[in-house]
């Protein structure tokens, strides 16, 4: 009689869409606030807001990482954020998303070891 092995644990993929949406939503608020403080007109459409040139302070961006943590399942390090901040939301996303994913993969691999 053959023994049936229990199913292997499901491999969970990096929650890219959830992380991206959470970051965009939070960075839009940071950019909107910065634009208002500096008297910069803020675009009504999301595409324009993502590409507009508005300084995003690194400390404000570090604060946005907390909205991602529930999706990745651990606390993200401040060092993921570029010192000095970013000049647009797209610049921040382009820098942060790969770093967040690498941190997630590293954490998952570390957790998978016996």
Region 22-36: mean pLDDT is: 96
Please check the confidence at residue 114 and state whether its pLDDT lies above 50.
no
Structural domain spans, the chain: 16-112
Q: Of 10-19, 56-65, 105-114, which one has max mean pLDDT? A: 56-65
Average pLDDT, the chain: 89
Q: What is the pLDDT of residue 12?
A: 79
Global pTM value:
0.84
Q: What angle do CA 17, 56, 105 make, to 5 degrees?
A: 35
Share of the chain above pLDDT 90, in %: 82
Judge contact between 19 and 71, C-beta under 8 A: yes
């Amino acid at each position: 009689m053959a023994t049936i092995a229990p199913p292997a644990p499901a491999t969970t993929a990096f929650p890219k869409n959830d992380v991206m949406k959470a970051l965009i939503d939070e960075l839009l608020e940071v950019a909107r606030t910065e634009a208002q403080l500096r008297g910069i007109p803020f675009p009504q459409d999301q595409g324009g807001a993502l590409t507009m040139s508005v300084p995003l302070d690194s400390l404000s961006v570090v604060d946005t990482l907390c909205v991602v943590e529930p999706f990745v399942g651990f606390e993200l390090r401040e060092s993921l954020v570029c010192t000095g901040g970013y000049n647009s939301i797209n610049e921040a996303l382009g820098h942060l998303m790969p770093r967040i994913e690498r941190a997630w993969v590293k954490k998952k691999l570390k957790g998978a070891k016996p």
